[in-house]
Amino acid sequence: MADICARHPDRFPAWVASLPMNNVAACLEELTYAIEHRGAKGIQIFTNVNGRPLDEPELAPIFERMHAYDLPIWLHPTRGAKMPDYATESTSKFEIWWLFGWPYETSAAMARMVFSGFFDRWPNLKVITHHMGAMVPYLEARVGLGMDQMGTRTAELDYTSIVKAMREKGRRPLDYFKLFYGDTSVNGSAPAIRCGLEFFGRERALFGTDCPFDPEGGPLFIRETIRAIESLDLPHDVRDLLYAGNVRRLLRLA
Amino acid sequence: MADICARHPDRFPAWVASLPMNNVAACLEELTYAIEHRGAKGIQIFTNVNGRPLDEPELAPIFERMHAYDLPIWLHPTRGAKMPDYATESTSKFEIWWLFGWPYETSAAMARMVFSGFFDRWPNLKVITHHMGAMVPYLEARVGLGMDQMGTRTAELDYTSIVKAMREKGRRPLDYFKLFYGDTSVNGSAPAIRCGLEFFGRERALFGTDCPFDPEGGPLFIRETIRAIESLDLPHDVRDLLYAGNVRRLLRLA
């Protein structure tokens, strides 16, 4: 990917590294090599590591390092049919694991990062969520008012102290969810892009398409995402930030 | 509830029955009693029955009966901390089971109904989804273009035949998801209500609030949901359908 970017800088202005998350030492070595020696502008990770959540302490050095580089982390969902949707079943049917399971993965990973304290530990951590924040923008007021009451649904553990500590910093749980970035990869839905933009705001929404995973094998998602964005009649400056300005700033591109 | 409605018809125009879904015979008896003898205008069920999905053949007589009555089914999510979010864990942390798990439950139940053929078997079945369709409206194009390709992600089972059979009826999987109804219970989020309205259309969106589960114990969700709807500047006829017209038609109220 570094070579492709070097050969076609007009088409491919930057690339990000994929990492062996199951081996933290190798992961750190690879991301240092990719960023410092090959010019990678970020990393892509998945929402779980062989079924483990991203807030396991062993993985912290990876986020620590990315925070120090001040470069973004692309968060991509992953899940297979082996995660059942019902307690009495052993697999997920009808590809629900993909359809809704993937956005659920993204949303759950965001919650784990928020409530385990990622953004208190690494205040400028930049995490770009796929599917424009997945479940969060549509359910923003559930996240807001619902998690203001966090702890009232749980007897065995004291979750109220988490919200109390946030409140002492002048923040609600929802404020932390607004620290993520979202890409416009919602398969060309204008209502969703508008809803997502209202949630993330002009500085934290980024153009993305999920190309080539459409029925045409590439062009459809690009075309439809652009069509959806154009249909929203956004102010010129917001449109420019969405298409290019925000990613230029995040990746420190010329 | 029948008594309350009889005493205060100006405040409580109708009620729906709660059912013992774990016992189908008792369930049928209770719903017949509630509807035919006490005037219930529908039923509320949960997204799973002790962990079992709603498309288990044993439960079919309940949907068959409601289809014959031509009265709606309110679909409410349920899930507890015992459904883990990660393969390596045994419980869901930070109340994610509630925050995102409930809307996931609704979405998964909708998919199970669609792909097991509920709407081919009972074409006029009326299912009202909580949280304005949960994950479906925001991810409408993922449901659309993604499930047009259903089967391509699964080797062990033939899911392509489901989509093929739909296509032979002139329908896409997404068209079936548009047969549900959605309530405006998204905790007062105007962007979500607008996005949901665009998905369900003027005839299939219904006013709902989730009262009294807000931090004020009741008034907040009612007030904020009305505020959100009013902020959308909807055409008068759409607004009237949303607040009253659709539910009057569905419940056959005077």
Question: Which DSSP string do the residues of A56-76 spell out, in sequence order?
Answer: -GGGHHHHHHHHHHT--EEEE
Rg (CA), chain B: 19
Please check the confidence at residue B215 and state whether its pLDDT lies above 90. Answer: no
Q: How far is CA A18 from the centre of its chain?
A: 15
Q: Does the beta carbon of B165 lie under 8 angstroms from any beta carbon of chain A?
A: no
pLDDT, block means (10 residues), chain A with 254 residues: 96 95 97 97 98 98 98 98 97 98 98 98 98 98 96 94 97 98 98 98 97 91 97 98 98 92
**Which tokens hold the place of B89?**
């864990």
**In this predicted model, what pLDDT tens digit does every residue of B106-140 receive, in sequence order?**
999 999 999 999 999 999 999 999 999 999 999 99
Query: Which residues have C-beta within 8 Å of that of residue A203, sequence separation ≥ 6?
Result: A241, A246
- What is the distance between the alpha carbons of residues B206 and B135, in angstroms, rounded to a whole number? 17
Q: What angle do CA B216, B219, B223 make, to 5 degrees?
A: 120
**Would you state the pLDDT for residue A131?**
97
Q: Which helix (H) or strand (E) holds B76?
A: strand B73-76
The answer to whether the CB atoms of A96 and B87 lie below 8 A apart is no
Q: What angle do CA A78, A79, A82 make, to 5 degrees?
A: 160
A76 forms beta bridges with A46
Please check the confidence at residue B197 and state whether its pLDDT lies above 90. Answer: yes
Rounded to two decimals, the pTM is 0.98
Do the strands A205-206 and A181-183 form a parallel or antiparallel pair, or are they unpaired? parallel
Which of A96, A103, A195 has its CB closest to that of B195? A195
| Partners of residue B161 in chain A, C-beta under 8 Å | none
* Number of Cβ pairs < 8 A linking chain A and chain B: 210
Q: Which of A138, A145, A209 to mutate to test the interface with B (most CBs of B within 10 A)?
A: A138
- What is the distance between the alpha carbons of residues A208 and A183, in angstroms, rounded to a whole number? 5
Which of B94, B140, B146 has its CB closest to that of A159? B94
Query: Which residues have C-beta within 8 Å of that of residue A152, sequence separation ≥ 6?
Result: A160
| Partners of residue A51 in chain B, C-beta under 8 Å | 86-88
Q: Does the beta carbon of A100 lie under 8 angstroms from any beta carbon of chain B?
A: yes
Q: Does the beta carbon of A235 lie under 8 angstroms from any beta carbon of chain B?
A: no
pLDDT-based confidence at residue B196 (cuts at 50, 70, 90): very high
| Partners of residue B117 in chain A, C-beta under 8 Å | none
Mean pLDDT calculated for residue range B2-13? 96
The answer to whether the CB atoms of B98 and A50 lie below 8 A apart is no
- What is the distance between the alpha carbons of residues B103 and B75, in angstroms, rounded to a whole number? 11
A193 touches A229 (CB < 8 A): yes
B157 forms beta bridges with none
Residue type, A192: A
Q: Which of A112, A124, A107 is nearest to A199 (CA)?
A: A107
Q: Please report the residues numbered 28 through 87 in chain B whose beta carbons come closer than 8 angstroms to any beta carbon of chain A.
A: 48, 50-53, 81-83, 85-87
Which of A48, A100, A140 has its CB closest to that of B108? A100
- Listed as own residue / partner, the contacts of A19-25 with beta carbons closer than 8 Å and 24 or more positions apart are A19/A43, A19/A44, A19/A45, A19/A62, A21/A45, A21/A46, A21/A49, A21/A59, A21/A62, A22/A49, A22/A50, A24/A58, A24/A59, A24/A61, A24/A62
Alpha helices in chain B (DSSP H): 2-7, 24-32, 38, 60-69, 96-99, 101-115, 118-121, 140-141, 147-148, 160-168, 173-177, 190-200, 219-231, 236-240, 246-251
Please report, rounded to a whole number, the percentage of residues in chain B having pLDDT higher than 90: 97
| Mean pLDDT of the residues in chain B | 97
Tell how many helices (H) and how many strands (E) occur in chain A: 15, 6
**Would you state the pLDDT for residue B254?**
80
- What is the distance between the alpha carbons of residues B73 and B86, in angstroms, rounded to a whole number? 32
**Would you state the pLDDT for residue A215?**
87
**In this predicted model, what pLDDT tens digit does every residue of A100-148 receive, in sequence order?**
999 999 999 999 999 999 999 999 999 999 999 999 999 999 999 999 9
B189: left (phi > 0), else alpha (psi -120 to 50), else beta? beta
Q: Please report the residues numbered 125 through 154 in chain B whose beta carbons come closer than 8 angstroms to any beta carbon of chain A.
A: 131, 135, 137-151, 153-154
The alpha-carbon gap from A8 to the nearest alpha carbon of chain B, in Å, equals 31
| Partners of residue A137 in chain B, C-beta under 8 Å | 138, 191-192
Do the strands B17-18 and A205-206 form a parallel or antiparallel pair, or are they unpaired? unpaired
Mean pLDDT calculated for residue range B190-210? 98
ipTM: 0.97
**In this predicted model, what pLDDT tens digit does every residue of B237-254 receive, in sequence order?**
999 999 999 999 999 998
The answer to whether the CB atoms of A94 and B83 lie below 8 A apart is no
Return the minimum-mean-pLDDT range out of A62-66, A97-101, B74-78, B210-214: B210-214
| Partners of residue A135 in chain B, C-beta under 8 Å | 100, 103-104, 135, 138
Q: What angle do CA A170, A173, A174 make, to 5 degrees?
A: 105
The answer to whether the CB atoms of B187 and A141 lie below 8 A apart is yes
Q: Does the beta carbon of A194 lie under 8 angstroms from any beta carbon of chain B?
A: yes
**Would you state the pLDDT for residue B190?**
98
- What is the distance between the alpha carbons of residues A30 and A50, in angstroms, rounded to a whole number? 19
- What is the distance between the alpha carbons of residues B132 and B184, in angstroms, rounded to a whole number? 5
With helix as H, strand as E and coil as C, how does A192-250 read?
HHHHHHHHHCCCCEECCCCCCCCCCCCHHHHHHHHHHHHHCCCCHHHHHHHHHHHHHHH
The alpha-carbon gap from B252 to the nearest alpha carbon of chain A, in Å, equals 31
**In this predicted model, what pLDDT tens digit does every residue of B146-191 receive, in sequence order?**
999 999 999 999 999 999 999 999 999 999 999 999 999 999 999 9
| Partners of residue A195 in chain B, C-beta under 8 Å | 138, 191-192, 194-195
